[in-house]
């Protein structure tokens, strides 16, 4: 067989690699004798696409040393690294690929994908621009492509706009213009341009890929899902797109749809850390606790220095008791000098010891974990108090009367606010059991609106900023909130919940934006609530949870919370519905009827059988709301009473 014949046959096999990887593999076998290096590379690429990732990795590893300048070798190696969740390594390999072949559009695009998963969005957008620029051959477009590659997005946009006006159906010009818009942070314009490309050419995969990753990068998970789904039907072997799709489904609360994808990925690579962990989390969130525990323990058997977070996730499964082996494993993690998750490991062991009635031992580990966590976060209790005082000064009776009727008319949202660990998840589950209410999750939209208004100014200045807004602005913000929340709604129900506890700080803004929305303040006994937040490890320690690691700060925050809610009762009488967690537990039906009445909802028996409602719950209380209410939990905090003197003093002021 001549070299020309071999070259043509290899090219034919590579052309089949995505559409028919099994045939490509057979063709690779036939070339092992005549072109062994090329055949092994083709074989590895075929096996990866057939889901045999460990075998592909074994074949490809020696070729890296043999062909250190081969772009396609680095690309395939990067894809295997991505299949193992080694995203930083994959990005480095892809940089080697584009360094060896600067016009390798697929490698640029894959690099963008890895950087998106690493949350390095600016670098990702530059890589995607490089992918589009690499495809340009039209002399009229080359200067704009070069400008994009040089990071001169404004100059590229200036050159491209007249071209697009003259040639509105020019797909390459439009794609370049979209990349320039992204780099200039003109995201709506970029999105509109990419949609225009797909209207002209629905099968244009690069434009669909870019639209999907752009939506994903900016939190448009629901909108990204159909595009990611379409891409994966065309190219089912893209590991990063699979992760983006499962994460997008998860962000929207659709874990039932995400689970089969997780299962397929873990079958292909049983030891991939990030996906295996996400799979265990998803099982937990849909209530499959026993399977989730098995998945966590399987992961722990191969985990390295980040085991504390896994032990903590396992102990979050309140229905699964810790075994002796589990406790030994947690103690081993705490004794391991390389262990990076010491706060989580301490909290996990505290829960295990609590299960066994060793409250002194449990508290010692809770306190140690909280102290380590407090050293990691910044929290300014004075700023919270100053914010409350500023809110009281701005949000007066006259202030609201002067702006009456200025917000959106939507009555769809039901806000559930209060302290963390106050029983808000239980209230959400009760409401989500009603046929007219959809339970979503802790939505970030109201916080994003407040942050956008505040800009880079300190938190206490927000009430003053709101004071300066034109009344018409509140309706716009209300409509923006409702529109942004649609991505989390999957049921055809007229009402939905937003269970973000620290939205109590935004009560005034919520009422201005959405005067017909309901606001439910779930109030728990301060000592019980204080101990509950102290023993809870919050995975994403944002401003809303930064106070939870010190009893003095917890007590002061609780006092600020009550002060602010009392103020709104004075200036907005009847607007906020206060629901006592203890009363809800002791007299559930009476409280549920009052709750539904406040929300303008007819009574429904399903709300009293809330544990039968199947939905994903993404909070630490996920397991508790899948079983009937137990009154015994009301006094659990008393097991720790000997150590709660500082909390009591802080609460009393």
Rounded-to-integer distance, Cα 586 and Cα 580, Å? 10
Of 109, 122, 45, which Cα lies nearest the Cα of 240?
109
Helix pair angle (187-200, 171-183), 10° resolution? 160
- Token pair 């409602």 is at which residue? 613
Q: Which among 294, 299, 302, 344 has a CA at the least distance from the CA of 323?
A: 294
CATH number of 381-652: 3.40.50.300
Short-list 523, 494, 497, 504, CA closest to 591: 523
pLDDT value at 626 more than 50: no
pLDDT at 434: 96
* Domain range list for the chain: 68-244, 381-652
Q: Element (H or E) spanning 521, and its range? A: strand 518-523
pLDDT mean across residues, the chain: 91
Question: How confident is the model over 317-321, as a mean pLDDT?
Answer: 88
pLDDT of residue 227: 96
Mean pLDDT across 254-273 = 83
Query: What's the confidence (pLDDT) of residue 18?
Result: 84
Question: Containing H/E element for 576?
Answer: strand 576-580
| pLDDT tens column, 6-62 | 677 778 878 888 888 899 888 888 877 666 778 888 898 899 998 888 899 999 999
Transcribe 129-144 into DSSP letters. HHHHHHT---TTTHHH
d(CA 110, CA 60): 18
- 92-143 confidence digits (pLDDT tens): 999 999 999 999 999 999 999 999 999 999 999 999 999 999 999 999 999 9
**pLDDT above 60: residue 560:** yes
Q: What gap in Å lies between CA 29 and CA 7, rounded to an integer?
A: 15
pLDDT value, residue 628: 58
Question: Is the distance from CB of 97 to CB of 104 less than 8 angstroms?
Answer: yes
Where do we find the tokens 């994959």? 90
The whole-angstrom separation of Cα 229 and Cα 238 is: 11
Classify the C-alpha dihedral 108-112-117-120 as positive or negative.
positive
What is the pLDDT at residue 5? 67
Q: Look at residue 380 and tell me whether its pLDDT is greater than 70.
A: yes
Spatial contact of 424 and 506, defined as CB atoms under 8 Å apart: no
- Please give the span between the terminal C-alpha atoms of the chain, in angstroms, as a whole number: 89
Q: What is the structure's pLDDT at 2?
A: 62
pLDDT band, very low/low/confident/very high, at 305 (cuts 50, 70, 90): confident
Question: What residues have CB less than 8 Å from 68, skipping those under 6 apart?
Answer: none
Selected from 1.20.140.10, 3.80.30.20, 3.40.640.10, 1.25.40.10, the CATH number assigned to the domain covering 68-244 reads 1.25.40.10
For 374-382, what is the mean pLDDT?
Answer: 91
Q: Assign 164 a pLDDT band (cuts: 50, 70, 90).
A: very high
Contact indicator for 265, 257 with CB cutoff of 8 Å: no
Q: Per-residue pLDDT tens for 336-345?
A: 988 889 999 9
Which of the 8 DSSP states describes residue 323? Answer: P
How many residues are recorded in the chain?
653
Nearest to 106 by CA among 74, 61, 142: 74
pLDDT in tens, 168-178: 999 999 999 99
Percent of the chain clearing pLDDT 70 (strictly above): 95
Spell 567-577 as b/e; 16+ CB within 10 A means b: bbeebbeebbb
Compute the distance between CA of residue 460 and CA of residue 471 in angstroms, rounded to an integer.
21
Model confidence at 627: pLDDT above 60: no
Lowest mean per-residue pLDDT among 169-173, 250-254, 256-260: 250-254
Contacts of 615 (CB under 8 A, 6+ apart): 253, 429, 432, 439
Classify 285 as helix, strand or coil. helix
Distances (CA, A) of 635 to 426, 582, 630, 645: 17, 10, 11, 17
**Cβ neighbours of residue 75 under 8 Å, at least 6 residues apart?**
93, 94, 97, 104, 106, 107, 110
Q: Look at residues 378, 372, 382, 328 and name the one whose alpha carbon lies nearest to residue 346.
A: 372
3-state secondary structure of 441: strand
Q: 272 or 229, which is more confident?
A: 229
How far, rounded to the nearest angstrom, does the alpha carbon of residue 536 sit from its chain's CA centroid? Answer: 20
Bridge-based pairing of strands 518-523 and 437-441 is unpaired
Evaluate if residue 616 carries a pLDDT over 80.
Answer: no
Range with the poorest average pLDDT among 58-67, 452-461, 644-653: 58-67
Tell me what pLDDT residue 629 has.
67
- Reported as a single tens digit per residue, the pLDDT across 394-443 is 999 999 999 998 999 999 999 999 999 999 999 999 999 999 999 988 88
Computed on alpha carbons and rounded to an integer, the radius of gyration of the chain in Å comes to 28
Bigger pLDDT: 553 vs 35: 553
Inform me whether the pLDDT recorded for 144 exceeds 70: yes
- Residue 413 phi/psi, 5° resolution? -75, 140
Q: Which of 515, 403, 393 is nearest to 470 (CA)?
A: 403
Q: What percent of the chain has pLDDT over 90?
A: 68
Residues 6+ apart with CB under 8 A from 203: none
């Amino acid at each position: 067989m001549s070299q020309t014949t071999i070259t043509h046959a290899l090219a034919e096999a590579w052309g089949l690699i995505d559409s028919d990887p099994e045939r490509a593999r057979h063709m690779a076998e036939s070339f092992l004798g005549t072109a062994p290096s090329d055949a092994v590379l083709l074989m590895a690429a075929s096996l990866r696409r057939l889901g045999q990732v460990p075998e592909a990795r074994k074949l490809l590893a020696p070729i890296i040393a043999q062909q250190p300048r081969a772009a396609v070798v680095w690309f395939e190696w990067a894809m295997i690294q991505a299949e193992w969740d080694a995203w930083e390594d994959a990005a480095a390999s892809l940089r080697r690929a584009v360094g060896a072949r600067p016009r390798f559009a697929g490698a640029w695009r894959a690099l963008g994908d890895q950087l998106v998963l690493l949350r390095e969005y600016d670098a990702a957008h530059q890589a995607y621009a490089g992918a589009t620029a690499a495809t340009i051959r039209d002399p009229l477009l080359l200067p704009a492509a070069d400008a994009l590659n040089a990071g001169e997005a404004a100059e590229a946009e200036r050159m491209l706009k007249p071209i697009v006006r003259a040639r509105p159906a020019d797909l390459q010009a439009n794609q370049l213009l979209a990349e320039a818009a992204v780099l200039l942070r003109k995201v709506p314009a970029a999105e509109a341009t990419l949609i225009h490309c797909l209207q002209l050419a629905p099968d244009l995969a690069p434009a669909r890929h870019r639209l999907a990753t752009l939506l994903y990068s900016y939190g448009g998970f629901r909108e990204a899902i159909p595009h990611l789904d379409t891409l994966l039907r065309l190219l089912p072997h893209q590991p990063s797109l699979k992760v983006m799709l499962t994460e997008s489904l998860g962000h929207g609360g659709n874990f039932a749809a995400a689970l089969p994808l997780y299962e397929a990925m873990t079958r292909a690579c049983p030891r991939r850390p990030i996906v295996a962990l996400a799979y265990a989390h998803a099982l937990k969130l849909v209530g499959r606790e026993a399977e989730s525990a098995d998945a966590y323990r399987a992961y722990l058997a191969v985990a390295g220095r980040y085991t504390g977070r896994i032990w903590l996730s396992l102990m979050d499964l309140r229905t699964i008791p810790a075994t002796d082996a589990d406790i030994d494993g947690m103690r081993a993690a705490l004794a391991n000098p390389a262990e990076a998750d010491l706060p989580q490991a301490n909290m996990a062991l505290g829960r295990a010891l609590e299960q066994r009635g060793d409250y002194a031992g449990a508290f010692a580990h809770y306190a140690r974990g909280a102290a380590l966590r407090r050293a990691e976060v910044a929290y300014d209790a004075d700023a919270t108090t100053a914010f409350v005082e500023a809110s009281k000064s701005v949000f007066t009776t006259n202030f609201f009367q002067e702006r009456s009727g200025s917000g959106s008319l939507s009555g769809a949202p039901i806000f559930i606010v209060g302290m963390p660990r106050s029983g808000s998840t239980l209230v959400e589950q009760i409401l989500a059991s009603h046929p007219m209410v959809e339970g979503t999750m802790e939505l970030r939209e109201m916080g994003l609106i407040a942050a956008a208004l505040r800009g880079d100014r300190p938190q206490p200045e927000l009430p003053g900023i709101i004071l300066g807004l034109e009344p018409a602005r509140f309706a716009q913000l209300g409509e923006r909130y409702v529109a942004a929340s649609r991505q989390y709604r999957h049921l055809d129900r007229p009402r939905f919940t937003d269970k973000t506890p620290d939205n109590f700080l935004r009560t005034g803004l919520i009422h201005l934006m959405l005067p017909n929305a309901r606001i439910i303040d779930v109030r728990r006994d301060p000592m019980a609530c204080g101990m509950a937040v102290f023993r809870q490890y919050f995975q994403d320690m944002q401003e809303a949870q930064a106070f939870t690691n010190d009893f003095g700060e917890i007590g002061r925050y609780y006092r600020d919370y009550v002060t602010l809610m009392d103020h709104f009762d004075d200036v907005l009488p009847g607007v906020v519905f206060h629901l006592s967690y203890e009363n809800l537990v002791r007299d559930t039906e009476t409280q549920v009827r009052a709750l539904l009445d406040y929300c303008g909802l007819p009574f429904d028996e399903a709300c009293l059988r809330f544990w039968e409602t199947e939905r994903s719950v993404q909070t630490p209380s996920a397991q508790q709301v899948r079983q009937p209410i137990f009154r015994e939990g009301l006094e659990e905090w008393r097991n720790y009473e000997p150590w709660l003197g500082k909390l009591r003093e802080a609460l009393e002021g």
